[in-house]
Amino acid sequence: MPTIGIILGSTRPNRVGDQVARWVLDHAARRTDAAFELLDLRDHPLPHLDEPMPPSLGQYQNEHTRHWAETIAAYDGFVIVTPEYNHGVPGVLKNALDYLYAEWNNKALGLVSYGVAGGARSAEQLRLIAAELQMADVRQQVTLSLHTDFENYSVFKPGDHNLQALNTMLDQVIAWTSALAPLRTAPAAAN
């Protein structure tokens, strides 16, 4: 059974992303076709990228990088829960993605975004980043508006209409995760 990591892409104090990530995990955990685990970036503090060699070489020199690489390598696919900051990806999330390369390759990616405009611009930037990391981002995404899915912009109260998008996105992530499995198990020289 594939294991999917749900990455919480915000570490800000008073963030609302933990409510969104918990909602994703609660619904995903009811499924029997994959195992889901929450990966909170607060639990994986990384300084600004401080590796002397490019991540694509896989020559990680810092213990925090090696620990992060082991963590990410253990998952078959991902769902990223991301806010939109200044029309873009949170810096902490971009940094976490930039630290590694091969550990992201040939893994499916689903996106759950939130913000004034549903976090759509952050999600679109993540699609560009995913392409460079050789991740397969699925079409369906969940976009949550701070105006309609949050009470007072701080208490997450998603409408039921979001469940269909969430379930479709999870279906796609699991299907693509399974389809990409042969590529993840192929010898490194073939990739």
pLDDT tens sequence across 30-86: 999 999 999 999 999 999 999 999 999 999 999 999 999 999 999 999 999 999 999
Residue 89 has pLDDT above 70, yes or no: yes
Instruction: Calculate what percentage of the chain has a pLDDT beyond 90.
Output: 96
Type of residue at 56: S
Domain of 60, in residue numbers: 3-190
Beta strands in the chain (DSSP E): 3-8, 35-40, 77-83, 108-115, 136-145, 150-151, 155-156
**CATH code for the domain of 116:** 3.40.50.360
Instruction: Calculate what percentage of the chain has a pLDDT beyond 70.
Output: 97
Type of residue at 153: Y
pLDDT at res. 186: 76
pLDDT at res. 108: 98
Q: Compute the C-alpha angle 109/114/118, nearest 5°.
A: 100
In 10 A of CB 73, how many CB atoms? 13
Q: What are phi and psi of 61, to 5 degrees?
A: -105, -20
pLDDT at res. 188: 57
Does pTM top 0.85 for this prediction?
yes
Mean pLDDT of all residues belonging to the chain: 96
Structural domains in the chain (count): 1
Count of alpha carbons within 13 Å of 119, Cβ hemisphere only? 27
